[in-house]
Chain A
Amino acid sequence: MTSDEVRRVAELARLVVPEEELPGLISQMERIVAHVDRLRELPEELLPDPELPAETVLRADAPAEGGGDRELEANAKTMAHGHVVVPRVVGGAP
């Protein structure tokens, strides 16, 4: 692992990593990667054929009462016109 790789992982995880913590994190990340790398030791021919995925269990498609809007609204920070208000994530400034 290089310090650039650790910085990149931290950036993706939205973490601020002080420079002095980098060497410690590099060695920890190296150990983690080495640990998972052990899976390469498993010869593929030893592994069983992948099982077919189990059939998806479905219940009858019958109409039923839902949980009710009241509980939903109780957990919404802001409601407007019967809708939950969420932050704008697309487009320009409002």
Chain B
Amino acid sequence: MRSVEEIAAAVSSRTSSAQEVARDTLAGIAQLDGALSCFLSIDEARTLACAREVDARVAAGESLSLAGVPVAVKDNIAVAGRPATCASRILEGFVPGYDATAVARLQAAGAVVVGKTNMDEFAMGSSNENSAFGPVRNPWDHERVPGGSSGGSAAAVAARLVPAALGSDTGGSVRQPGSLCGVVGFKPSYGRVSRYGLIAFASSLDQIGPLTRTVGEAARIYEAMAGSDTRDSTSCAEPVGDPVGAASRSVFGMRIGLLAEAFTDGLDADVEKNFRAAVGVLEGLGATVSEVSVPRAPYAIPIYYVIANAEASANLARFDGLRYGPAATRPSLLPSTAPTARAGSARRSSAGSSWAPSRFLPATPTRTTVAPPAPGRCCRAISTRRSAASTR
């Protein structure tokens, strides 16, 4: 799989066509995704039609920064004419009639959506074990989880099925699967990327972010979709600047803070070792690294759980069988859904998410443990240990 830059350059110079790239990508997915379950839906006809359009725009002389770049989109982000299930049976069969702003902007820049990716149901979870349509496998080791909730997007990039994918991050859902799959996961600052067309989880925390193999590619995807949007009143009016240029600058002379509170008892020794090695690389390149203490940082996680769960409760109230979702045959006002034996779904909303978000923490390990074993092979003790680690 070529990089975002290589594909855009080849399609722009017409040494490759967007249609060839799309066909190769679809063939790769057909060959490899059976073992990984990264994708919930693929629409070959739409993908090829979109690629044909990009070829026509290039032939007409348009300059497109993402010409022909195949992109996978998390299944909680609207792409017109393609299902958006949020990996839930509640939204099975729902097909949005419009594109999310982030998707529309990527397509305007020449990107080609190939499919919708698997996730934890309604973006609640950090392992991708909570998808109604089956778990995603970590491409590096099928016995392990890919992280979540954007696990399908992260695994698709790690498996080289696509060069870039979109995820959404509320409490780590782009950064953490990026970490567990060994790819770049970037949560933009709140307000930078329009959330129009993103099915809401916790509105004051949700952001759409890219997953790619390199920081430079993430910057290209981010640059194409960032910026204010009249359809999202929380989007930021400040100019986006030059993220691609910024991503290519040297770290020489940069001051990087290391959050003292991130190095807790729950931190896995291997994670800490690798994190410190990465910090060593930055120092070797001329950055100055010093420890910074934010004594109140540990409170970020309980605060996150209060905010996220309260907002999720409000946002998910629309899946009541009237406005969205299947309806019980004889519903009454309160019990509009039948009792279910899935106590696990209650637990995950309070204990299943990941590292708390914080815009104050410039350099911390993304996760306190390495990717735990995958569903079907994981025992209760491991699940418990993981929740304990994530709530430290």
Taking Cβ atoms with an 8 Å cutoff, the residues of A that contact B are 9-10, 13-17, 21, 25, 28, 31-32, 35-36, 38-39, 41-42, 46, 56-59, 67-68, 70-72, 74-75, 86-90
Contact = CB atoms under 8 A, between A and B. Distances in A.
B340 A35 contact: no
A16 B341 contact: yes
B303 interface: yes
B336 A89 contact: yes
Contacts of A38: 298-299, 302
Given A10-B343, A25-B343, A87-B321, A36 B305 contact: yes
B121 to A, nearest CB: 15
B293 interface: no
B189 interface: no
A39 B301 CA distance: 10
Interface in B8-53: none
Given A16-B339, A71-B97, 11 more contacts: A16-B341, A17-B343, A28-B347, A35-B391, A38-B299, A38-B302, A57-B234, A67-B97, A86-B321, A87-B328, A88-B331
B97 A42 contact: no
Interface residues of B, number: 41
Contacts of A36: 302, 305-306
Contact of A15 (B94, B331, B339, B391): B339
14 contacts: A14-B337, A14-B339, A15-B340, A15-B346, A16-B339, A16-B340, A25-B343, A36-B305, A38-B298, A38-B299, A39-B299, A39-B302, A46-B296, A89-B336
B238 to A, nearest CB: 14
Contact of B95 (A14, A31, A67, A74): A74
Contacts of B306: 36, 39
Contacts of A68: 97
Contacts of B296: 42, 46
Nearest to B321: A87
Nearest to A24: B380
B342 interface: yes
Nearest to B298: A38
Interface string B276-313: 00000000000000000000101101110110000000
Nearest to B328: A87
8 interchain residue pairs of minimum CB distance: A71-B97, A57-B233, A87-B327, A59-B230, A86-B322, A36-B302, A16-B341, A14-B339
A72 B324 CA distance: 11
Contacts of B327: 86-87
B339 A58 contact: no
Given A38-B302, A42-B296, A87-B321, A32 B343 contact: no
Contacts of B303: 39
B60 interface: no
Nearest to A42: B299
Interface string B357-391: 00000000000000000000000000000000001
Contacts of A35: 301-302, 305, 391
A32 B350 contact: yes
A70 B81 CA distance: 12
B142 to A, nearest CB: 29
